[in-house]
A and B are shown apart, each in its own frame.
Chain A
Amino acid sequence: MNLMKATTAGIAFCAAGAVSAAELEVTHWWTSGGEAAAVAEFAKALDATGHTWVDGAIAGSGGTARPIIISRIIGGDPMHATQLNHGRQAEELIEAGLLLDITAVAEAGGWKDIINPSSLLDSCTVDGKIYCAPVNIHSWQWIWLSHKAYEDAGVPVPSNWDEYVASAGALEAAGKIPLAMGQQAWQSSGAFGVINVAVGGVELWNKINVQKDAEAAGGPEMAKVFEAAAAARAMAANSNVQDWNQATNLVITGQAGGQIMGDWAQGEFQVAEQVAGEDYTCLPGLGVNEVISTGGDAFYFPKQDDADIEAAQKELAALLVSPEVQVSFNLKKGSLPVRGDIDLSSANDCMKKGLEILAAGNILLSGDQVLSADTSGQIEDLMVEFWNDASYSAADAQAKYAEIIGDAD
């Protein structure tokens, strides 16, 4: 009955409609080992309320799953709940009135006070109404360094980006790839974003991505960022894997010095039974600017005609944010919880670093929250070309980048 306590908000809601069991089809793209285990926590919690969780996992990354999810909602065959990265991806679905307004659930659960950072809830809010339940925080701003690779090369493990760049020669001499990079567009674009924040600072990042200042994007400060990215490109020249976890594996096995990747990479180290601080080091903000972006996953609830289902949807929304579910889910997922009032003492070193930064408020918005899918797509196209074509000069890429930011809406 612990669980029922956890869902006080949910009870308040379904008390009126009595408990009529509903089957809720939930789509998401969490299919890797650790991710599936995390989703199972949600399913267990929902099943305990008497409703049934019908799992609609879509294999492939968000890029594959999002179009399927969105076409189903637009096409009149909506699922009962779905994962999306909150932010601007669902903007037009909300405007078209296709998603359920869960403001009442949020008010009953006091989300305004407990959700930290509050930008997560802002991203769910359109015209004062709340349309999604945030479930976790994932941040991009991490570099993962292999202790084995540095031992083999005979140099100490770097503690920031500059030391890391300086160590590239020694790594190469020892036959290592200094920087492991998967070649997919989202990875190129993500790694660039991380370098942008670390080298250029938060202020510059906000000016460009939030205020869409094309002048700053083409300015001298940003030129430094592009040069750093070009240096990173040279370091990644011999890395010809595709998927991010293959690149992470290069770091785990000590074939590569490091990888710039979000905190989900941690799951791979865990599976390989490596210990943070002993086998690998994680540096938030590349050890330069210790900030993390606070994007993440959220659940949206497409509108249904059935009142029973609607009640169950609202119950699920409350459940996802409840403390017990937040703890069990995020420990399995390796992500940070969306509420600051729960105890995560069993988290590992890297997660704790993230929690500290979060508590100190050194946060920025995520790309999904500030840029439209269209602009993100254009930047991805540019970055994947830039990272893979050594003849593409930093200045040319910057000019193109400034143009995209100038056109962004």
Chain B
Amino acid sequence: MAVTDGTGTESAKTSARRPNRLFKNLTAKTASIPMIFTALVVFIGCTGWTIYHSFTKSRLLPAPDKWVGLDQYERLWSTRRWLVSIENLAIYGICSLILSLVIGFTLAALLDRKIRGEGIFRTIFLYPFALSFIVTGLVWQWVLNPQFGIQSVVQRWGWESFTFDPLNNADIVIYGILIAGIWQGSGFIMVIMLAGLRGIDEDIWKATRVEGIPTWKTYIVVIIPMMRPVFVTALVLIAAGIIKVYDLVVAQTSGGPGIASEVPAKYVIEKMFQSQNLGQGFAASTMMLVSVLVVLIPWAYLEFGGKRRD
């Protein structure tokens, strides 16, 4: 929820900034009134409502009159489960960001080399994205299960001592989730990257070939800098996916073993609906909103700063 709140705020700002004069394109503006209204009331309004209630002692029902100041936040940051969640999100986030971009770009670059059967490969790589996180999580729960999955297959091949059981090991469980996340998401990043690569003018390739620059160097020095907007888009999409990771964890480990694979979104949902403590859930979701803003503000700066320079 915090995620849509954040992006909603941004799109509201975008639509408000673009027009030059107030009465230009009056029809278009009239048509967008419902959206502006939605953005203001639903996104900004509800965000404000949530933040306000995170300072109250709301339990099952919102209690706007029971003001407790920063109590909910103090409890939040002294809860081990929340700290573990944040740590997991950081590990998952950094790894998923880097790996998605690297794998996505590499796959896209390989497909862009005009190979035979590109359509087939593109479909295969994009296919996991058509699956929901719940399905992805269940599939990988089975793949990583020591009795049926990779471990038993490798052991049956003769490597008896082989152990690969990330989901039952508290130290590495988050990487087990990461594998599933990357498998699901990198195909989508690949498609975006591929679209970006297709947008590169053929003449640039010809020019670098004339200059005798090796292909790999062309990619790094010429092509990637030209694809900056594509990278920024991919970055924002990945970041949004990271912040809201929830169903993958629920399907794969439901937070276990112990609390080793808990994530913030799961904390929010469980505090709000299972523990019947809205205030605590709101405080946690407000912290999530803050982390989204930390990602979005630099992005907005890059995007709009860039445009003004043009």
Contact = CB atoms under 8 A, between A and B. Distances in A.
B64 interface: no
Interface in A351-399: 372-374, 376-378, 381, 384-389
B275 A388 contact: no
A92 B80 contact: no
Nearest to B262: A381
A377 B61 contact: no
A183 B168 CA distance: 10
B4 to A, nearest CB: 18
Contacts, number: 73
A28 interface: no
B85 to A, nearest CB: 11
Interface in B42-65: 59-61
A234 to B, nearest CB: 15
B221 to A, nearest CB: 48
B256 A242 contact: yes
Contacts of A70: 60, 273, 276
B170 interface: yes
A376 B276 CA distance: 10
A389 B273 contact: no
Contacts of B259: 381, 384-385, 388
Contacts of B168: 240
A92 B274 contact: no
B273 A242 contact: no
Give the bracket for the number of chain B residues in contact with chain A.
Answer: 20 to 34
Give the bracket for the number of chain A residues in contact with chain B.
Answer: 20 to 34
B29 interface: no
Contact of A372 (B81, B258, B276): B276
Contact of B260 (A74, A388, A400): A388
A115 B271 CA distance: 34
A408 B270 CA distance: 18
A374 B256 contact: no
A220 interface: no
A374 B170 contact: no
Interface of A: 63, 66-67, 70-71, 74, 89, 91-93, 96, 183-185, 240, 242, 372-374, 376-378, 381, 384-389, 400
Given A372-B276, A376-B275, A74 B61 contact: yes
Nearest to B62: A74
Contacts of A74: 60-61
B280 interface: yes
B286 interface: no
Contacts of A389: 170, 258, 260
A387 B257 CA distance: 9
A385 B258 contact: yes
Contacts of B276: 70, 89, 92, 372-374
Contacts of A66: 273-274
Nearest to A64: B274
A191 B9 CA distance: 47
B258 A374 contact: no
Contacts of B256: 183-184, 242, 384, 388
Name which of B60, B270, B271 has the most chain A CB atoms within 10 A of its CB: B60
Given A70-B60, A96-B61, A377 B277 contact: yes
Contacts of B257: 183, 240, 388
A117 B81 CA distance: 37
B254 interface: yes
B275 A378 contact: yes
A71 B273 contact: yes
Contacts of A96: 61
Nearest to B78: A403
A374 B276 CA distance: 6
Given A70-B60, A74-B61, A96-B61, A388 B274 contact: no
